[in-house]
Amino acid sequence: MSSLTDRYVAATMRAVPAQRRLELAEELRGSIADMIDDRTSGGQDHASAEREVLTELGHPEKLAARYSDRTLQLIGPRYYLLWWRLLRQLLTYIPAIVGVLSGLAKALLDGEPGAAIGTAVVAAMQTAVQIAFWVTLAFAVLERTRTPLGLPEWTVDQLAEESRERQISHSDSIASAVFLLATVGFLIGQHFQRWTTDDGSRMAVLDPALWSFWLPALIVVLLATVGLEIAKYRAGRWTWPLVAVNAVLNVAFAAPVLWLLGTDRLLNPELVERFAWLRDGGTDQVARVTAAVVVLVAIWDVTESAVKARRAA
Amino acid sequence: MVSDEVLRTHLQELRRGTVVVASLVALRRPDYGYALLQRLAAHGFAVDANTLYPLLRRLEDQGLLTSEWNTEESRPRKFYRTSDDGETVLNRLLDDMTAVRTSVTDLIEGAER
C-alpha cells in the first residue's frame, strides 16, 4: 500500500463520523486500489495512475462531506434569508444607538466632548462587528445541527403588510436623525471642547455671544428637523404639508447662518484675531464656502422632498 | 447561442436522479463500487467516482441497498445489492420516468407548430 493513498484515506476519514470510519476506510482503500489496477493493467505506471485516481476523487474533505451528507456552506438556503434580514435589522440601529450613547457618555460623564466622536465611531464599529459575528455564528450552528426553527410558513398575508408603499426607509430616517443630532452635538461641543492654540489658551470656534439667541435658535431648528424626520417616517412618504414644513425649516436654518456669515458674526472674534490668514481676508473665504454649501444643501433638500412628494402623489 | 456552461448545468440537472435509478437496476445483480461504476459507464451513465461511492452509502443508509463483504477475492470488497424496499422504490421511480417520457411525448405531439 503506497503512502499517497494512505494519506488520502486518512485525510478523508478524519472528516467522517468516527463510528463508520473503519469500514469506510476499508472500502475506499479497496475502491482506490481497483481504480489503480484498472489503469496499470492498461500499461500505465503505478505512481502516475495513483495520482490520477486520487485527483479524480478530488478534495478529501469534499468527499468526506458527501459520505456523511454534510453541508459545505456556512449558511445555506434554509436560513440565509432569515440570517440576512435579522442582521440587517440589528445593524440598522444598534451600532448607531451604542455609538451615540457612548459618545454622549464620553462628552458628558468624562467631560471630553472632543473625543466623543472618535469614541462613538469606534464603539459603533465594534458593536457592528460583534453583532455580525455572533449572529452569523448562531446561524452557522443552526445550519450544522439542522435545527428546525418552527417559524411560520410564508403566506400571502405577509405580502399585504409589507407591500404598502414605503418611500422613506428605516435606515435613511435613522441616518438623518443621527446626523442632525451629531450637528447639535457639534454646536454644543465646540463651545466646551475649545480650540487649543499654541500658547495653550482655548477658544470656541463660534462666537460665544451667539449663545444669547442664535445658537439656541439653530439647535431648536435642528431638533424640529428631527421631529420632521419622525413625522415623515410615520407617514411613510413625502406629503405636501411635510414638504412645506421642510422648506420652512431649511430656510429657518440657512437664513440665520447666511446672515451671520455675511455680517462676520459667526466665528469667534478671538479666534479670528489669533490666526493671521483669517484676519487677512480668510474669514471672507470661509464665509463664501460655507454659504455656498449651506445654500446648495438647502436647495437640494427642498427640491428632493418636492420631487418625491410629486412622485408619491 | 447558449453557452456550454448553461447546457452542461441543465444536462447535469436532468441526469442527477437517473443515477439512482440506474444503480438500483444494476444492483439487482450484486456488485462492488468500481465494478458498478464501469458497468454504468458502459451503459452510458458517466458517473463520477466521488459521486457514486457516497451515493451507494446513502442508499444503504436509507435501506434501499443491502451490503455484504466478500473476502474470497484478492482484496476484500463490499458488495451492494438492491433490497426489497429498494425494488419498491425503483418501481415507483421507473413508473415516474415512463410518465415523464409520456408527458413529454404528448406535449411534443400536441404542441402547435
CATH code: domain of residue B77: 1.10.10.10
User: Above 60 in pLDDT, residue A55?
Assistant: yes
With a cut of 50, say whether residue A35 has pLDDT above it: yes
- Say if residue A149's pLDDT is above 60: yes
**Would you say residue A135 has pLDDT above 90?**
yes
Write the pLDDT tens digit of every residue in A154-212.
778 767 555 456 677 777 888 888 888 888 888 887 777 655 555 556 677 788 888 88
ipTM score assigned to the predicted complex: 0.85
Tell me which chain B residue has its CA closest to the CA of residue A61: B50
User: Looking at CA atoms only, how far is residue A7 from chain B in angstroms?
Assistant: 17
Instruction: Please compute the mean of the pLDDT values over residues A85-113 and round it to a whole number.
Output: 83
The pLDDT of residue A163: 45
Q: What is the pLDDT of residue A199?
A: 59
Q: How far apart are CA A266 and CA A290, in angstroms?
A: 11
Residue with cell 435613522: A174
Contacts of B57 in chain A (CB under 8 A): 24, 67
B78–A34 C-beta distance less than 8 A: no
How far is residue A141's CA from residue A90's CA, in Å, rounded to a whole number? 19
The pLDDT tens digits of the residues spanning B42-75 come to 999 989 999 999 999 999 999 999 999 988 888 8
CA A35 to chain centre: 53
Tell me the chain A residues in contact with residue B32 when contact means C-beta distances shorter than 8 Å: 30-31, 34
pLDDT of residue A194: 59
8 A C-beta contact, residue A210 and residue A260: yes
Residues of A in contact with B35 (CB under 8 A): 34
Angstroms from B113 CA to nearest CA on chain A: 38
Please say whether the beta carbons of A127 and A98 come within 8 A. Answer: yes
Question: Torsion over CA of A40, A43, A45 and A50, rounded to 10 degrees?
Answer: -30
Q: Which of A26-35, A39-48, A99-108, B83-92 has the lowest mean pLDDT?
A: A99-108
- Tell me what pLDDT residue B80 has: 95
The residue segments making up the domain with residue B43 are 4-110
Domain ranges for chain A:
3-67, 73-164, 167-313
- Strand partners of residue B70: B77
Cβ proximity of A30 and B32 under 8 Å: yes
Residue A1 has pLDDT above 70, yes or no: no
Cβ–Cβ of B76/A30 closer than 8 Å? yes
The nearest alpha carbon in chain B to A34 belongs to B34
Q: Look at chain B and report how many structural domains it folds into.
A: 1
A interface residues, B as partner, C-beta within 8 Å: 23-24, 26-28, 30-31, 33-35, 38, 56-58, 62-63, 66-67, 69
